[in-house]
Amino acid sequence: MKELLAISIITFLLLPVSQGFGQVTDTPSTLGVKLTSTTPFSYQDDQGYTIVIGEVENTKAFPVTNVKVWVGFYSGKASGPAGQTPLETVTGDTLLDVIPARGKSPFMIKSKTPNPEISEVIINILGFNSATQKQQLLEIKPGTLTIGNTVKLSAEIKNGGSQQSTDTNVYLIALDAFKPPRIVGIETLTVDEIMQGKNATINFNALMDYRATSYKILAESDNYQSKITDVTKVSLDTLTRLISINSIEVMDSSGERVSQFQVGTPVDIVSDLAIQYFALAGSNQPYVYYAQVKQFGETAPVEFLGIMEGEFSSAEPQAASVSWTPQQEGGYFIEAYVWDPNGVALAAPSKTISIVLVTS
C-alpha cells in the first residue's frame, strides 16, 4: 500500500515557483544532434553558480561522439534577439562519451563564475564526430527508490562483456512531468572495475530536485554501455498523511462557489486543510500547497499550477487558497497536493477533484 501511495504521489506534475531563469534555445539542429527540450532546466546552486541540465538526441543512424554544447549566460537586461553580448559562455560535453544511433544523452554545464546577474541562458549544439559503437553489455537492475530527505537507490550492474569494464560511470537521472520531460537532476557514481561476467552494486543517496516525477538509470564505461533503464519501484521513507486535504472548491470574487465562469475572470481555488495533532510535537509545521488545473482530454495538459506557502502552529484547520485567471475556454479539473518546503509529501493527493467549465 505504501508503495502504491508513493507512486501516486510522485507521478503528478509538480512545477516550481519561478526562479527568475528563462531558457532560450536555438532552433532544432539540422546537423543531426538536437536538444530534446526547448526549455532545459537551470538553477543556481548553493555557491551561486548557474547549472544548466538538459538532454541531446542523436537523430543519425550511426553513433556520435565529441558532442559540444555551447551555453551563453545572460542577464535579463542583456539577453534577447538583438545579439547582445553574454556575461560569459561555456562549452561543455554530454555525459555519454558515445551517443548511440537514435539515442540520447544528458548534459550538465556549470557557469564559470557565481554571477548573481545571470537570469537567462541560450543553448546551441556546436557539432559532433562519428564514432564506433560501444556495445550495450552492461545490464542494470535497479532496486526500490526511496524518497525521503534524500533519494536513495541501490542498483546492481552486471558486466556481460568479454573484457573488464573500467571506469564505469553510473548516472541516476531525475525528470519532471513536462512533455517532453526535462532533466532536473543528475547524480553520478563511479565503479573502477567490473570483471567480465561479474556484478557490482552501487548505492545512491542524493539530494534531488523536488520537481522530479520519474527516474532513470544509465551506465557507461571505457568500453561498454547500458541501456537507459526506468526506475519503476518507488517508496516513501516518511509519513505522508500528517495533513489531510478535505476539499477543493472554486470561489468567485464575492466568495460564492462556482463551477462555470468566463475567460479572464479571476477565481480562487480553496482547500480546507487539517493536521494531525501529534504531528506538531511542540513545533510549527510549514507546508506548501499546490493547486493544479488540467484540461480534460487524453493527454490532460496542465493549464495552471498555483502555489501557496503556509504554516501550522496549532491543530486548528486552515484554508489554503490560490488565484487563477483562465486564459482559454474549455473543461478543466483541479487537483491539490501538500508538501513540505523540502519537497517531501505531507498529504496524500486530494481524493476529490473540482470540475469547472470556462466559457468565452
Which tens digit of pLDDT belongs to each residue from 169-195?
Answer: 999 999 876 667 889 899 999 999 999
Over 60: is that where the pLDDT of 21 sits? no
What pLDDT, on a 0 to 100 scale, did the predictor assign at position 2? 33
Greater confidence, 22 or 198?
Answer: 198
H-run or E-run covering 279: helix 277-280
Residue 201, classified by CB atoms within 10 Å of its CB into exposed (0-12), middle (13-18) or buried (19+), is: exposed
Q: How many other CB atoms are there within 10 angstroms of residue 17's CB atom?
A: 9
Measured distance CA(186)–CA(254) in Å, rounded: 47
Over 90: is that where the pLDDT of 288 sits? yes
Evaluate whether 112 touches 126 at the Cβ level (below 8 Å).
no
Confidence of residue 24 (pLDDT cuts 50, 70, 90): very low
Measured distance CA(289)–CA(271) in Å, rounded: 9
Structural domains in the chain plus CATH codes: 15-130 (2.60.40), 136-236 (2.60.40.10), 243-359 (2.70.50.60)
| Per-residue b or e along 110-142, where b marks 16 or more CB atoms closer than 10 Å to that residue's CB | ebeeebeebbbbbbbbeebeebeebebbbebeb
Measured distance CA(306)–CA(308) in Å, rounded: 7
Cell digits for 238? 516518511
What pLDDT, on a 0 to 100 scale, did the predictor assign at position 257? 92
Of the listed ranges 2-6, 95-99, 201-205, 336-340, the one predicted with least confidence: 2-6
Measured distance CA(177)–CA(215) in Å, rounded: 11
Give the mean pLDDT of 28-56.
84
Over 70: is that where the pLDDT of 134 sits? yes
What residue type is 211 in one-letter code?
R
CA trace torsion 100, 299, 289, 51 (10° rounding): 20
What pLDDT, on a 0 to 100 scale, did the predictor assign at position 281? 55
| Best mean pLDDT range from 152-166, 245-259, 270-284, 324-338 | 152-166
Whole-number average pLDDT of the chain: 83
